[in-house]
Structure 1
Amino acid sequence: MPHPLNAPIIDMTAVSGSETNPLVTCSSDENLCTWVLDQTGNEKLATAVDWLVGKPAALVGLIVIGLLVRWLLHRLIDRIVQRAEVGVLPNRLSRAISGGKMGAALNLREDAGYTRRVQRAATMGSLLKSIVSGVVFTVVALMFISELGYDIAPLIASAGIIGVALGFGSQALVKDFLSGIFMIFEDQYGVGDVVDLGEASGTVEAVSLRVTRLRDVNGTVWYVRNGEILRVGNMSQNWARTVLDVTVGYTEDLTHVRRVLEEVAHDLWDDEEFRGLVIEEPEVWGVESLGVDGIVMRVTLKTAPMEQWGVARTMRERVKARFEHEGINLAVAQRISWQESAPSAAHADDETPS
């Protein structure tokens, strides 16, 4: 008979059904499976309860947590958007100006600026909400798959590889989207602005994350990729300026001409029809240049955005009418034409060979 000391050793933990039982597989030492196993000692019951109760509860919990996180982040974005909608005037001009034409004009533009800020804030809020929803959904999906017992390491590795491949293959597209985001954040231009984008200029009709659509004065619609925009000249933000050059002849009295221009500009400033359009007292800067055809006098008027062209047309009409009344002549091009006269008939007969 074999000696008792040589008898095989029996692992009692496999029989006792304790939490250290290696025959029982639980996803965690503290989950429902372990608790049922400790209470009943039944491996099959513990596994069944884990899959029928523990797994669904964990999955539902992940979904609830994901929705809660998404809701909280969306609320935070909404508060940020509300603050962005309030905004302030550039350089806090509204605090430095009280009453008068300029104040009235800026208040008028402040209403338009508020609408512009609301649109821009809503666009950025929608973009941020989409990004947050995508990130939360991706994280919850990965945790969902991991909770089902699958290895998510290959998925993460594959996503990294696909991301790198897309990054290299769509660099221009990514550049356009990033440029569009920064343009909207920085409020470089908006719908209705008159801009110069280098290759194209006109009125902005639509701004998206990838392209900007604008229409020029001839009615042509231009689609400009945001990533290709190197500079932006916006003629519609905050205020504008009309620069009017008037050319008079060298024989005119410049003192008289300057006084007449100041009176015409001041009359336009006092005109009720242009209240809120001309926002500062016009200035006559004086002689701008001495040209071949005459002397150039420069007049400037600070106007509300998008009003500089209409103000300039009216100013030209009034200057023309006033100059005619004052007898001031506008400069005209000095041209000398030479005309060779035809030889007379008698001279032609003398030159006729006999």
Structure 2
Amino acid sequence: MDLLANVSTTMPEMASWEFWLGVPARVLMILLIAVVASAAIRLIIRRITRGIEKGTRSRVIRKLDSGRPQWVEDAGLARKRQAQRAQTVGSVLASVLTLTIWAVALLMIVSELGFNIAPVLASAGIAGVALSFGAQSLVKDYLSGIFMVAEDQLGIGDVVDLGEASGVVEDVGLRVTQVRDVQGTLWHVRNGEILRVGNQSQGWARAVLDIPLPYDGDLDAMIERLTNTLANLREDATVGEFVLGDPEVWGVEALTGESVTVRVVVKTAPAEQWAVSRVMRVRVKKMLDAAGLSVPLVNQTMVRGGGNLYAPPADAAPTDQT
């Protein structure tokens, strides 16, 4: 009988305009706002993603021109890689924000239906405070990863120096960046702990050699020999394709009583400066040998012979001991 009474009183209420303009209208309005907010968030993130793609820096890449390798600046490959990473970050952000919007909308709808959500909100607040203390570093890692991707600080295959770890980047995530050093060790670096990024693969590089020459030698003649020895470095069969400019002798870098240090530099393709430097050292060594010159040694003190260094010589007069 009570059920029939409730039905008989509810049906007239549902037929009135006041009922449909009350809770159902508010619930429909909440759903509409959630849909519009989700669409707006996705549109904003999509535009931000496109801005990140357009802001990609050009990189020096290797191309073949009439069968001969050439190193030219090109942003196509870098933009494609940056676009993939930006889309990944954008999809993650869109999913998180959309989930947050619909979670809030669901709580508001439950409240409109007359359910008491105060215990739920209190429990969520306590859980949020507890998680905020434990997840501070996690949030920092993710935010740092997002900015690293947005600013194109590094990418897979780049040679970087991150402070504690340096080497070739093998993977870039939103929380962790993986770097393999020259010894083969794979470093997992949290993005929140990266305070500086030295990228040796963006744009171009420079091979720098500080060559010590004899102090008493003819400096002008030795510099001329250096220039002639490295003049045709672009024609080298091993590293010639990596050389982007003519070698330059910048002059005297240091001066001591034993040697005169001369600095020689050359512009190279990214991450190829070490190979070019090795070839340059070999050429300089052969030039010094041909000219009869040798790399000066620093002052040394050598002690030869055995026995007690503090023992008096055999013919020394005996000392009076009392």
TM-score when normalising by structure 2: 0.73
Cα distance, 1:242–1:262 mapped onto 2, change above 3 Å = same
Q: Distance in 2 between matches of 1:326 and 1:115?
A: 51
Instruction: Could you tell me which runs of 5 or more consecutive residues in structure 2 were left unpaired when the two chains were aligned.
Output: 1-5, 61-69, 308-313, 315-322
Instruction: Could you tell me which runs of 5 or more consecutive residues in structure 1 were left unpaired when the two chains were aligned.
Output: 1-24, 26-41, 94-103, 343-347, 349-354
| Correspondence 1:46 to 2:12 | yes
2:47 alignment counterpart? 79
Equivalent positions of 1:316-327 (< 5 A) are 316-327=281-292
| Correspondence 1:186 to 2:151 | yes
- Asked if structure 1 preserves the Cα contact closer than 8 Å seen for 2:52 and 2:151, the reply is no
Cα distance, 1:49–1:165 mapped onto 2, change above 3 Å = farther
One-letter identity of the residue aligned with 2:11: L
| Correspondence 1:315 to 2:280 | yes
Q: How far does the alpha carbon of each residue in 1:299-341 deviate from its partner, in whole angstroms, 9 at most, with x for none?
A: 1122232111111112222222333344443335665655459
| Correspondence 1:243 to 2:211 | no
Cα distance, 1:340–1:176 mapped onto 2, change above 3 Å = closer
Q: Distance in 2 between matches of 1:278 and 1:127?
A: 41
> How high is the sequence identity, in percent, across the aligned residues?
45
Equivalent positions of 1:274-353 (< 5 A) are 277-291=242-256, 293-332=258-297, 337=302, 339=304
- Asked if structure 1 preserves the Cα contact closer than 8 Å seen for 2:244 and 2:267, the reply is yes
- Asked if structure 1 preserves the Cα contact closer than 8 Å seen for 2:56 and 2:78, the reply is no
Q: How far does the alpha carbon of each residue in 1:122-164 deviate from its partner, in whole angstroms, 9 at most, with x for none?
A: 2331232123222222232223323432244544444333322
Q: Distance in 2 between matches of 1:215 and 1:202?
A: 5
SS of residue in 2 equivalent to 1:257: helix
Q: Distance in 1 between matches of 2:134 and 2:90?
A: 28
Deviation at 1:268, TM superposition (A): 1.8
Q: How far does the alpha carbon of each residue in 1:152-197 deviate from its partner, in whole angstroms, 9 at most, with x for none?
A: 4544444333322221233332333333333333333222222222
Q: Distance in 1 between matches of 2:145 and 2:212?
A: 44
Q: Distance in 2 between matches of 1:302 and 1:138?
A: 56
Bigger mean CA deviation after superposition, 271-280 or 233-242: 271-280
1:6 alignment counterpart? none
- Asked if structure 1 preserves the Cα contact closer than 8 Å seen for 2:155 and 2:172, the reply is yes
1:114 alignment counterpart? 79
2:233 alignment counterpart? 268
Q: Distance in 2 between matches of 1:271 and 1:338?
A: 45
SS of residue in 2 equivalent to 1:189: coil
Cα distance, 1:293–1:126 mapped onto 2, change above 3 Å = farther
Counterpart of 2:189 (choices 224, 239, 245) is: 224
Deviation at 1:296, TM superposition (A): 1.5
Quote the RMSD (CA, aligned, Å): 3.7
State which structure, 1 or 2, has the greater radius of gyration over its C-alpha atoms: 1
2:128 alignment counterpart? 163
Deviation at 1:87, TM superposition (A): 2.2
Q: Distance in 2 between matches of 1:208 and 1:184?
A: 9
Q: Distance in 2 between matches of 1:309 and 1:241?
A: 9
One-letter identity of the residue aligned with 1:45: M
One-letter identity of the residue aligned with 2:73: N
Q: Distance in 1 between matches of 2:78 and 2:306?
A: 68
SS of residue in 1 equivalent to 2:188: strand
Counterpart of 2:139 (choices 139, 149, 174) is: 174
- Asked if structure 1 preserves the Cα contact closer than 8 Å seen for 2:162 and 2:198, the reply is yes
One-letter identity of the residue aligned with 2:114: G
Deviation at 1:64, TM superposition (A): 6.4
One-letter identity of the residue aligned with 1:82: R
